[in-house]
Structure 1
Amino acid sequence: MSPVARLGGGRSPIWMWTRPEGVESAALDQLRAIASLPYIHHHVAVMPDVHLGKGATVGSVVAMREAVSPAAVGVDIGCGMAALRTSLTASDLPDDLGAVRSAIEAAIPVGHRHHADVSTRVRRSADLWDAFPGLHPKVSGLLGRAMTQLGTLGSGNHFIELCLDADDAVWMMLHSGSRNIGKEIADAHIRVAKGLAHNTGLPDRDLAVFLAGTPEMAAYRHDLRWAQEYAWRNRQTMLALYADALRGFFPSLRVPCPPAEGPHMGEAAFANVNCHHNYVAEEHHYGADVLVTRKGAISARAGEYGIIPGSMGTGSYIVRGLGNPEAFASAPHGAGRRMSRSKARRTFTLDDLRTQTAGVECRTDPGVLDEIPAAYKDIDEVIGFSGDLVEVVARLRAVLCVKG
């Protein structure tokens, strides 16, 4: 149960579940900057899908004592995955899934779109909206937008997929976060953190931290909890809309009931997973109570189910955590990019995209070229490096993909 590599270069060591030579030099420099912070507890854990991020590296797990860095969470607070195993099997699906994809795209706004009005389903989240006036003043006027964006996909690497497992069971899966409201909250607090005196002289101003016992920390933790809850409910709302769209073609469709928020344990949880991979949690590691930020990483406590997705046209995995203490009980969040979006657009053609997504009902236009599978790391290699972090319980193969 050991990392592949251990690096020095900062106040704290860096433990990596991948080979350093496979990580871009800028990301390694960024990890060393994180490890130089005086608040780091024990070490920085680096997942197999690691790549350069803003301020903090994507694919990093950072435990801090009495402090938290918003950049180590990311601006899409609560971004994560959800998956449901349905009652359908491969034999229930038509040969042409084009109409099904169109129905899903009609039911769930993608990209910068949002719902035209606020549905009854959204209004039921009254406790979420009751807490809204207490958020940072910079977002106080965004309640209407937040309500119409609940149950929407977003853009970039967010997606909705219809998948098959090895037993030909049909799964619904999606990837999304807290939409623009989470980014607004993150940006507002990062600006506050950068202005605090104790953050003077940091190796990267984007690594600014809040300290425990301060009003700034309390305000950030309050807003962070709200955004994480919003992201979780956003995925649950989309799953309900997704199921409604599918029932137009498959009236007998049944899906498991939503689980309570929290650790996903047991057989029932295997069929219904909703997990963050950009978030903060209060945990106990190496003899201390700490704040753990996972940016591009999932919780993988012993017996806890999670999702490690691939890219368009590749496989994804339902996994069960092994609770590896050296990784702060964490695992990777997906394939992780191996090249920038601009480089992907320069490198590949639409013919390449069609070839790499053959057999998947999806868009193959210029708007999604930067999401081509070859722009991402090999998901099977990522899983290979994760053998002491999780065990695989199901491999999913996409047959339909909706992109933002």
Structure 2
Amino acid sequence: MAKKHSLTGKDLRRLGYPEGKIISIALEVMQRDFRHSKQSEVLDLLEKVLKSPKDYLHNASLNKIAKHLVEEPKAVEEYVEIPLREERKEYAIFGMEHIEPGAINQMEVAMRLPVSVAGALMPDAHQGYGLPIGGVLAVENAVIPFGVGVDIGCRMCLSLFDLPEHTLYGEASKLKNILQRETLFGAGREFAKPMDDEVLSRKEFREIPILKGLHSKAVRQIGSSGSGNHFVEFGVVDISAEDKELDVPPGRYLALLSHSGSRGLGASIADHFTKLAMHKTPLPREAKHLAWLSLDTEEGQQYWLSMNLAGDYASACHHQIHHKVAKALGEKPLAMVENHHNFAWKEAHEGRELIVHRKGATPAGKGVLGIIPGSMTQPGFVVRGRGEATALDSASHGAGRRMSRSQAKNSITHSQLNQVLKDNGITLLGGGLDEAPMAYKDIHQVMSFQQDLVEVVGTFQPKIVRMDE
């Protein structure tokens, strides 16, 4: 039997098909009506349609392609570098004296984008790629893939259990075994027998070309965690007062806290659409990673749908982790709190609909619950947003790094790390010097800079921490 074709958008671009909707239309038609044809045959046919589209306007199968070719230019559009504004838009900085100059410089550039409307820099901010970590940027009718980041929809998830604090000490071996058995960490790591989830059946996996090739990876990695600062940990949550939404009495509870994102799925989406945005909206060198996609374009809409899918996928990963751990404990959570960062939201600010990017920043709209972790020796906080307009309803997403990964590896020793963990009663499973607590800012100081952004509902103290090896 002849081998069926495996046509891609790259093949069409080589033939001279213009960027845009015509690529997905041609792929759809050839897959639907010519799926049993050889690769050489479909390429030959598509080349003929491209050269003489009017000859195929009445062809039952090819008229849709021909119609768009007649209407659209045949040559790929030439793109001219887009200048930045001379003057930047104003933005608020929280805890400025503790934010490195590199992060502020990146925010200054971001506020000069033609599409930028408003912004804010959180007190845990540090330099990243494009938008700084801790940067919040609101733009009009556009989305910036690198303003969202590589780990799309990275999030925190907290489960409270009706188990006393002393479970951490009396059953420490059991809890360590549960974390080692029920979690999987590391770039590229996959389950041999992954759990199913409804997010894997989403239509986006069938309708958006880039996602079609990522489905099998998403299936194998669901329920796993990444490397770097991603973790799953047991600790104690102290709820200090009654809270209607949490609906648990004040007290101290065994809790599970996890931090990770959308795995290889999100990284591949970010890479694909960032390159596309940089081609579509070329910017000066210092701003090139802030290239955007208009939401009026097919590419912008595809990224938006892909980003939201990746966010839901990240949530499903956390829910699977918490489900497996709860089952191993023989308990059902009393309450669960989760929030994400590295995302873009459609929100109304000052009477306008804007696209708000939070790269390493926590949503903190009025009344919105969230979690702000510290480091493994410092507490995290369950918070409720105050809806501060100057912060674009945002807060920090953690303590923030005070050392880069390379600086931490070169300046902290294993004996120093082990001593700090021992002094604070922390059991670390995996982890590395780049994630040592000393590499992070003081979470109490960070929280002091955002008292107007969030109120503290409870605290979480880590005790048994699981990370990548």
**What TM-score, normalized to structure 2?**
0.75
Q: How big is the shift at 1:224?
A: 0.9
* Mapped partners of 2:370, 2:436: distance in 1: 24
Aligned to 1:34: 110
* Mapped partners of 1:135, 1:155: distance in 2: 28
Tell whether 2:450 aligns with 1:386.
Answer: yes
Tell whether 2:263 aligns with 1:185.
Answer: no
For residue 127 of structure 1, the aligned residue among 201, 210, 230 is: 201
* Mapped partners of 2:106, 2:192: distance in 1: 41
* Mapped partners of 1:286, 1:136: distance in 2: 37
Distance 1:13 1:202, change over 3 A: farther
* Mapped partners of 1:236, 1:175: distance in 2: 12
Aligned to 1:236: 319
Asked whether the equivalents of residues 151 and 342 of structure 2 are also in contact (C-alpha less than 8 Å), the reply is yes
Asked whether the equivalents of residues 99 and 123 of structure 2 are also in contact (C-alpha less than 8 Å), the reply is no
- Unmatched segments (≥5 aa) in structure 2: 1-84, 239-250
Asked whether the equivalents of residues 34 and 56 of structure 1 are also in contact (C-alpha less than 8 Å), the reply is yes
Tell whether 2:291 aligns with 1:208.
Answer: yes
Aligned to 2:256: 172
Distance 1:82 1:203, change over 3 A: same
Counterpart mapping for 1:390-401 below 5 A: 390-401=454-465
* Mapped partners of 1:289, 1:350: distance in 2: 50
Q: Which has the higher strand share?
A: 1
* Mapped partners of 1:254, 1:322: distance in 2: 30
* Mapped partners of 2:198, 2:348: distance in 1: 35
* Mapped partners of 2:100, 2:95: distance in 1: 12
Tell whether 2:302 aligns with 1:219.
Answer: yes
Q: How big is the shift at 1:124?
A: 4.2
Tell whether 2:116 aligns with 1:50.
Answer: no
* Mapped partners of 1:93, 1:330: distance in 2: 33
For residue 156 of structure 2, the aligned residue among 70, 78, 81 is: 81
Distance 1:212 1:142, change over 3 A: closer
Q: How big is the shift at 1:33?
A: 0.7
Counterpart mapping for 1:93-108 below 5 A: 93-95=168-170, 97-108=172-183
Asked whether the equivalents of residues 160 and 174 of structure 1 are also in contact (C-alpha less than 8 Å), the reply is yes
1:326-370 C-alpha deviation (Å, 9 max, x unpaired): 11111110011111111101111111111222211213x7x5111
Q: How big is the shift at 1:123?
A: 4.2
Aligned to 2:185: 110
Asked whether the equivalents of residues 298 and 333 of structure 1 are also in contact (C-alpha less than 8 Å), the reply is yes
Counterpart mapping for 1:362-381 below 5 A: 362-363=428-429, 368-381=432-445
Secondary structure in 1 aligned to 2:406? Answer: helix
- Unmatched segments (≥5 aa) in structure 1: 1-7, 257-270
Aligned to 1:142: 214
Aligned to 1:22: 98
Q: CA RMSD in A?
A: 1.8
Distance 1:350 1:200, change over 3 A: closer
Asked whether the equivalents of residues 168 and 175 of structure 2 are also in contact (C-alpha less than 8 Å), the reply is no
For residue 63 of structure 1, the aligned residue among 138, 141, 165 is: 138
Q: How big is the shift at 1:244?
A: 2.3
> Which one has a bigger Cα radius of gyration?
2
Aligned to 1:255: 333
1:90-146 C-alpha deviation (Å, 9 max, x unpaired): 133344624422322221111132211232xx2444533x43122343x43232221
For residue 89 of structure 2, the aligned residue among 12, 32, 44 is: 12
Counterpart mapping for 1:310-349 below 5 A: 310-349=374-413
Asked whether the equivalents of residues 81 and 307 of structure 1 are also in contact (C-alpha less than 8 Å), the reply is yes
Secondary structure in 1 aligned to 2:255? Answer: strand
| Higher RCO (Cα < 8 Å, 6 or more apart) | 1
1:184-211 C-alpha deviation (Å, 9 max, x unpaired): 0010000000111x43436321110111
For residue 361 of structure 1, the aligned residue among 427, 430, 433 is: 427
1:377-399 C-alpha deviation (Å, 9 max, x unpaired): 11111111110000001011111
* Mapped partners of 1:374, 1:135: distance in 2: 43
Count of residue pairs the alignment pairs up? 369
* Mapped partners of 2:360, 2:197: distance in 1: 30
Distance 1:10 1:336, change over 3 A: farther
Structure 1 runs (4+) deviating above 4 angstroms are: none
**What TM-score, normalized to structure 1?**
0.87
